[in-house]
Structure 1
């Protein structure tokens, strides 16, 4: 195996001291955690931030007039500013959600509400029969099902951009599909199965020429790449806290200010209104227009601690480290007989994530074999069943890295993969 030039592994070892779970053992082996694409591990700084809020400042935000409520509100809005800044946005462009799935459903249902209001009242977001929503075949179900449902409710047509055999998006097909009837283009920044970075600039250009709204799933880019959502030119984007060192139950919806202004609300209730009578309500401006009810204050503060942690490490450094780790993993997997990599596009931009098929061995069996050695990977279709059908497999094994992944862990993983087929009698 050709080993890339080593990143400063000493820095990674220092960072690992901040993650208590990485010192544990599984099945008698040190934990080798290669499932960060599903959920990342949390540093103690994130755990401490949420605990400090709950034990020192816990109160309802934007409601009480007492000191503790004011402290809680300040911490909550400071967290919004920190997370917004991490993705290049302003605080009024960041809506708190429970995660990316919630954010995508919020967008789809808001567009559906606009569609019920009619083209005139609903403005540019109202959909009519024969209007088109475009996604790619590589989308996570969270960026597919909401659009399927929206198309069914409105009579719009859902279309799909295919991928080439190497997993890269078929831009020629995209140019044919995205046109005057396209009203929404929704796509992932990074595929959660292939690890490939999609050509955002090209897709945004096509959508703008068609006058379509762009919706970006940034779940697999926010933890791994420097991210400036306004600079990417997308209208809306979502990301999940638990994939970027943060707590569960918190995520962000970025929206260009004018887009958020024009979108109608999805959920209604307390905290998102300016005036209410028995017959009528007026809503606050964004982002609060989309934040009905009790908010996830502690998780938001924890997510702010996570992005401050990532900022302190430096996202350029994170991306560089993971690029080297990804190369090491790819080179090793390529040398193992009976391993078929999905999305192995030479020279393509990617993050440290590889999915693969083991010849003659079901993905679940392969995952259990690795788990017995303390190696945690994801098995299945990774909530992207159509993409797996595109490659002719029902399930794959996925190994995904993060800033705390070491070269030694990659080597232990590769050693484990080498033994899978022989163990199951599928090869030497």
Structure 2
């Protein structure tokens, strides 16, 4: 809308200049009528009635005055129109229809400030992935050296949005960075688009949990200032580590790779050690739920799995929602509680990239995890060791607990994270449990 307002202003200015030239011409005609015509008449010995001469001069002068008045009227009308346009908030349309319009605008954008926080419906990206990708592509390939800054929640970071973007490497201009909030707080999402010559406009209205929000557009400087200040507040809020600069030269699944950033989404296998002895096995999945779970959660970081004792007897389900979890860089803090068993306490995880992982599954994309948990009312610390895997899913039914436990022990031994004595002690317990397991 900023360009629309500027176009109207330029047209008005051209019209004003045209009318001014015409006005000067008419006043000049009046001057010539009053001076040159009598002189010519005298030279030619032609008698021209003074009344006619005066009438012509007055007519030209009045005509000039009328046009001047019209010009003033046009100036006032144009100023009013500009004020109306500058302060207007325009209904842009439903969110599913606004994306192509934004993509067209990105061809002329210099800097972009965008929020993508608290969006629960990930099938929104699936339905409109091509349009969203085109918005980023249009900006990245527009030839302008600007900056695009996204503010997202932890759950949205690994939603797949950034892997879908198709861009020609030789055409890339500008810098795309992502800042991650510690929590996916529901907000009214917005996009601030800054053009050349200080023109700026804002699209806003994307709501968390809404499939098709109503989107509005404004270039009013007061409205833009509010959203700009809000963006600054979010930038200065507690973030999940430093910004990530998207590397479009890397493979799509590595674009968000930071030297120390671990993609926690996936399956994890862990043990806990108390006073040197392996006492429990924890198998869990960290995911972003696309559909509501049995507990009604969707679009959030969710941990689901099971906890077994050293004889692989069931202790309890692992079930943590976003309200139990806090993030910061590669750290995760969880407050747990189970109403069935009465267990309560807190757990701390620290994740690390598993490059050159000497596990039976040589996966350079895997990761390590270490940490501890302490049950409420207890001072005993239980140390946690584990790793990421693609071989086992904790949610499979039936879960191959014996195979998974042995694989976990073998992997941790090969990683030199447990001793041979710890491995043999735990392995003997598993073998004894297999002999007593009902067939």
TM over 0.5: no
TM-score by length of 2: 0.23
- More contact order relative to length (CA 8 Å, sep ≥ 6): 1
More strand by share: 2
Task: Work out which of the two has the higher radius of gyration on C-alpha atoms and give 1 or 2.
Answer: 2
